[in-house]
Amino acid sequence: MKTEIIRRKFQGGPPLEIPVATIDGAVSGPIFTVISGMHAGEYSGVLAAQRLIQTLDAGRLSGTLRVVPIVSTAAFLARNMQLSPIDEREVHYYAPGNPGGSYTEFQIDTLYSILRGSDFVIDMHSGEFAQALHPWVPVPMVGAPDVQEASRSLSMGYRVEYVELRRERSSVPRLAAYLADDGIANLWAEVGKNGLPDEEHIAIHHDGVIAAMQTVGMLPGPPERPPQKTVEGRRFQVNANQSGVWHSYVREGEIVDAGQELGKITDYFGETLEVYMAPERALVLYYWSSPAIDHTRRPHGYDWHAGLVSLLTLDSVIEPAG
Ligand SMILES: [Zn+2]
């Protein structure tokens, strides 16, 4: 195994550091790259990445496994949440190709120098400190049909209730769409909540990657095939219209009906300012468990900090076989 830290100078900002571990198998084969820590408080992925680096048996591996345990090291060390602490951008929604732009664009361009040439990429995410999240695996169904199918096959070993096939390009994070367009099968797994490095979530991330590597023939043995529901729907987020103290009435993983109360914003004293309703029947992917809501905080137009509940309509649900 080889470990290195990619270091790059950035004009007008702190230097960039991205750690990479490379494990070469006994025989040649595909290149599989696993990344985590893009969003700095999503620790279950980071610890799963460390587990892969420390425990994967290179003697059983065909091909090469690359692992980036922490994509956003500056944000990680700052205990930052979701957005870059340097330019307040959302790394997942930037594509490579403009290294002379912002720090985040420089960062994603440097990250792509590591991802380029991969056959498969898994990007491990979870719920941030302020997010209570129901584990699920979104698959970008964009790009060539064979790449879409390969991406989908990577999801089949995850012990999650839902695998979401996401076909609407505008709702696919730009990095995931860029990878798919570049012929790299990929998914991003959302497992873990509230920034907690919980053992169950670490294991789901880790075992999901192992199953994906078995699926593509890079590790021996039959891959795990836990029961999963395959869902397609429309993602949307209920945002705050005013700042205040958020009280959620719903929990992650719950299905809410149209008109059901999702929660309320109160003033500092607890007086209700506004009650929020579900506009249609949908699955609660996550809600913001932090009561502190500043609805004006939308750096570069990104509304993460104004979010209250993230929902997915269940337009199509395929129940697990058997
Ligand atoms: Zn994330």
CA 82 – ligand 1 centroid, Å: 7
Using one digit for the tens of pLDDT, what is the confidence trace for 5-48?
Answer: 999 999 888 899 999 999 999 999 999 999 999 999 999 999 99
The average pLDDT across 139-152 equals 98
CA 77 – ligand 1 centroid, Å: 16
CA 127 – ligand 1 centroid, Å: 7
The pLDDT assigned to 26 comes to 92
The average pLDDT across 201-228 equals 98
Residues in CB range of 168: below 8 A, 6 or more apart: 234, 235
CA 102 – ligand 1 centroid, Å: 20
Asked if residues 157 and 222 have their Cβ atoms less than 8 Å apart, the reply is: no
CA 27 – ligand 1 centroid, Å: 33
The average pLDDT across 247-272 equals 98
Q: How far out from the chain centre does Cα 7 lie?
A: 24
CA 92 – ligand 1 centroid, Å: 8
In a 3-state reduction of DSSP, which class is residue 237? strand
CA 201 – ligand 1 centroid, Å: 14
Check residue 86 and give left, alpha or beta (phi > 0: left; psi -120 to 50: alpha): alpha
CA 192 – ligand 1 centroid, Å: 10
Report how far residue 281's alpha carbon sits from residue 254's, in angstroms, rounded to the nearest whole number. Answer: 11
In a 3-state reduction of DSSP, which class is residue 309? strand
Q: Is the pLDDT of residue 322 over 70?
A: no
The pLDDT assigned to 241 comes to 97
pLDDT interval class at 310 (50, 70, 90): very high
The pLDDT assigned to 83 comes to 93
The average pLDDT across 257-272 equals 98
Structure-block tokens of residue 44: 């279950």
CA 220 – ligand 1 centroid, Å: 30
Between the alpha carbon of residue 92 and those of residues 35, 37, 203, 259, 322, the distances in Å are 12, 11, 23, 32, 36
The average pLDDT across 239-259 equals 98
Report how far residue 134's alpha carbon sits from residue 252's, in angstroms, rounded to the nearest whole number. Answer: 5
Return the closest-CA partner of residue 39 out of 89, 2, 100, 1. 89
CA 46 – ligand 1 centroid, Å: 11
CA 125 – ligand 1 centroid, Å: 4
Q: Is the pLDDT of residue 243 over 90?
A: yes
Asked if residues 48 and 16 have their Cβ atoms less than 8 Å apart, the reply is: no
Query: For residue 199, what is the DSSP state?
Result: H
CA 247 – ligand 1 centroid, Å: 23
**Residue-range domains of the chain with CATH:** 2-228 (3.40.630.10), 233-318 (2.40.50.100)
Structure-block tokens of residue 214: 């078995």
How large a percentage of the chain has pLDDT more than 90? 98
Return the closest-CA partner of residue 262 out of 275, 245, 244, 280. 275
CA 307 – ligand 1 centroid, Å: 15
CA 253 – ligand 1 centroid, Å: 17
The pLDDT assigned to 12 comes to 83
Return the closest-CA partner of residue 84 out of 97, 100, 95, 71. 71
> Helix crossing, 145-154 with 199-215: angle to 10°?
140
pLDDT, mean over the chain: 97
Query: For residue 169, what is the DSSP state?
Result: G
CA 126 – ligand 1 centroid, Å: 6
DSSP states of 137-159: EEEE--S-HHHHHHHHHHTTT--
CA 180 – ligand 1 centroid, Å: 18
CA 63 – ligand 1 centroid, Å: 27
CA 112 – ligand 1 centroid, Å: 17
Asked if residues 114 and 68 have their Cβ atoms less than 8 Å apart, the reply is: yes
Backbone angles phi and psi of 165, in degrees to 5: -90, 115
CA 53 – ligand 1 centroid, Å: 21
pLDDT interval class at 282 (50, 70, 90): very high
235-249 burial, b if ≥16 CB within 10 A, otherwise e? beebbbeebbbbebe
CA 266 – ligand 1 centroid, Å: 28
In a 3-state reduction of DSSP, which class is residue 255? strand
Using CB atoms within 10 A of its CB, is residue 253 exposed (0-12), middle (13-18) or buried (19+)? middle
CA 199 – ligand 1 centroid, Å: 18
Asked if residues 124 and 189 have their Cβ atoms less than 8 Å apart, the reply is: yes
Report how far residue 164's alpha carbon sits from residue 134's, in angstroms, rounded to the nearest whole number. Answer: 12
